[in-house]
Structure 1
Amino acid sequence: MTELIVCLTESQKGELVNRAASGESLASLAGCYGITRQAVRGILRRRGVPPRVVGKLSEAQRSEVVQRYLDGSSIANIAAAFGVSEPAVRGLLVRRNVLLRKVVHTLRHDAFDYLNPDACYWIGFIFADGSVGYRPGYLPQVSVGLAERDRGHLVALREFLGSTASISGPSITHGSCQFSVRSARLADRLIELGRYQGGVDERLVESRDFWRGVVDGDGSIGIYQTARGPFAQFRLVGSSRILEPFTEFVLLRGLSRLSVRPHKTIYTVGTTRGGAERIIRLLYEDATLALHRKAEMAARILDGRFRSE
């Protein structure tokens, strides 16, 4: 079974960490990725994430959990603050005879049915930075975890989905904010469009909005200084089944062919200077939806300011 641990890509490990942080059990994660529970625990430990530390709060912390809930904090925010799972917090409250607030969340279950530009973007972003999880006895879950600095992007995703679900505060263990919704229709649609296996839907492959979402999640754009002056750089990492369609997308739009190259357990494509600027222009020029910090960097590159800074 040890060999299977090595076969998990960095993207899959990131998904595993996000799903564990959302409260999914070791057994469920092990079954989903075809590895042992010990392997899951090892991945979480190396990423600094405790695997569902149920029952490991001190008595003072348990009392604080109860008080925070009574003061109006959500279970999700409390779980993130104490580095435990939401089921652990909910179980503690039940054992302390705390009356749980009834929460009814709204959600657009059909948000990905019609592939308009915004839907394509968010599908691309979830393909790169999100996960889809299935657990027996539960509705499928779509989750995204981002660093605290990008929390506003989770707010934008929540608004697109018409959701009232909470976004957790930054975890004390790995600093990421988590947003999750449960919907069989959304989860099945993402799988159908090619999230994990098979070919990526051709309508997505042809969409610059989809690829901008992928790049916002798993890509990098930047400016690098050399002895001959600054230059733009573009890079995208992921599985070959995602990167190969991307190279075809840019080639069909008159850009040079990019080479998909193996890099440790994943693959990468990239280019610099004029090639990078053309890809950035193709994806980001006049875009109305993008990760704020990458949109700012794209604007800086496209207006040429960096050459005189």
Structure 2
Amino acid sequence: MGSTNANNETVAEIPEWIRVFKDGTVERPLDFPIVPPTLNTGLSSKDITISHHPPKPISARIYLPNITNSQTKKLPIYVYFHGGGFFFESAFSKLFNDHFLKLVPQANIIVVSVEYRLAPEHPLPAAYDDCWDALKWVASHSTKDTTPNNTESWLTEHGDFNRVFIGGDSAGANIVHNILSFRVGPEPLPGDVQILGSILAHPYFYGSEPVGSEPVTGLEQNFFNLVWKLVYPSAPGGIDNPFINPLGAGAPSLAELACSRMLVCVAEKDGLRDRGVWYYEAVKKSGWKGEIQLFEEKDEDHVYHLLKPALNQDSHKADALIKLMASFLVN
């Protein structure tokens, strides 16, 4: 969290979430603490650098389940993009580290959890660019053309590049959609790696026309609209830009989503619940040839499957969703 200065003018703010000062200082009061990688029962993790290019290197935390000496079968690879509205949280925070301590041993997968640049210091499309570069870096390990930057042994020795998945929560789920629609189709991944499946948990989509039970007035002060203005102030079309509105003007056809399977998760009390269902139904009607599944949890709110374990709150529903995700990633 940045330090405050009584004489420093606030130039942008979403109360309780973020405050931006004139000198460039940014406060993010809801960030979970950063925690180190771990050697844990069931897995190992470490932090790696993907790109050294300015203005900021792209890094990640990579997780590997316990490997026995007799194990020869390669493991699915899950590239993950964290949530946080594009403006807070980290792949290295307790929130996501705790999640993968549960998921990785259950699914027996390799996870690459990407640390991308955050707004407002780095407005969109910076996060989209970083996540796409990270995915290309992972895929580059499938080829024999090695460079000093694609020699991560956990991927080359244990990764199954015929079973590559991408996933994310909230803003991270938004990134998943945009990679599948704007990136993978027009530009093949290194080694012609294909995305087998994707998980979109409580995806952050929105638009000017209300969906379901969304309010019909007050869009200008709507939280999701305020976030979008903060993270992508120059977005053509504003809240109907196709990056945030998958059915907005100029959006690619959902029929061309570049994966074979998709799991969309929503929560009954989440303000983004109706958008997630709307997206699921739009994909089903689009003519897309893949298999799509919708999972909804009753009486739960946004990213409960992350928050409750990280806050040490007992939640069998969180455990159930993590189990479902694990099953999706291995079947």
Q: TM-score range by the shorter chain?
A: under 0.3
More helix by share: 1
More strand by share: 2
User: Which structure has the larger Rg over C-alpha atoms?
Assistant: 1
Normalised TM-score (structure 2): 0.26
Normalised TM-score (structure 1): 0.28
